[in-house]
Amino acid sequence: MIKEAIQHYKQSHGYSQFSPRCVLFDMDGVLYNSMPNHAVAWHEAMKQFGIHFTADDSYATEGARGVDTIRKYVLEQQGKEISSEEAQRMYDVKTEIFHHMPIAEIFPGVIDIMQKIKSAGMTIGVVTGSGQRPLIKRLLNDFDGFLTEDHIVTAYDVERGKPNPDPYLMGLRKTGNNNPWQGIVVENAPLGVRAGSAANCFTIGINSGPLPDSALVDNGADIVLQQMTDLCNMWDEILQNIDR
Ligand code: CA
pLDDT tens-digit series, residues 71-125: 999 999 999 999 999 999 999 999 999 999 999 999 999 999 999 999 999 999 9
Q: 25 CA distance to ligand 1 centroid (A)?
A: 9
Q: Are 34 and 104 in contact (CB under 8 A)?
A: yes
Burial 193-205 (b: 16+ CB within 10 A, else e): bbbbbbbbbbbbb
Q: Can you tell me whether residue 216 is helix, strand or coil? A: helix
Q: Are 70 and 87 in contact (CB under 8 A)?
A: yes
Q: Which residues surround ligand 1, an ion (CB under 5 A)?
A: 26, 28-29, 188-189
The predicted model gives 211-237 an average pLDDT of 97
Secondary-structure class of domain 35-98 per CATH: mainly alpha
**CATH 1.10.150.240 intervals, the chain:** 35-98
Q: 193 CA distance to ligand 1 centroid (A)?
A: 9
The dihedrals phi and psi of 126, each to the nearest 5 degrees, come to -125, 130
Q: 185 CA distance to ligand 1 centroid (A)?
A: 12
> Containing H/E element for 125?
strand 123-127
- Provide CATH code, domain 2-34+105-240: 3.40.50.1000
**CATH 3.40.50.1000 intervals, the chain:** 2-34+105-240
Q: What tens digit of pLDDT does each residue of 221-231 get?
A: 999 999 999 99
Q: 230 CA distance to ligand 1 centroid (A)?
A: 17
Q: Quick one: how far is CA 46 from the chain centroid?
A: 23
The predicted model gives 197-215 an average pLDDT of 95
Q: Which residues contact 43 (CB under 8 A, 6 or more apart)?
A: 53, 54, 55, 58
Q: 190 CA distance to ligand 1 centroid (A)?
A: 9
* pTM, two decimal places: 0.92
Q: What tens digit of pLDDT does each residue of 115-124 get?
A: 999 999 999 9
Q: 91 CA distance to ligand 1 centroid (A)?
A: 17
- With a cut of 80, say whether residue 131 has pLDDT above it: no
- With a cut of 90, say whether residue 203 has pLDDT above it: yes
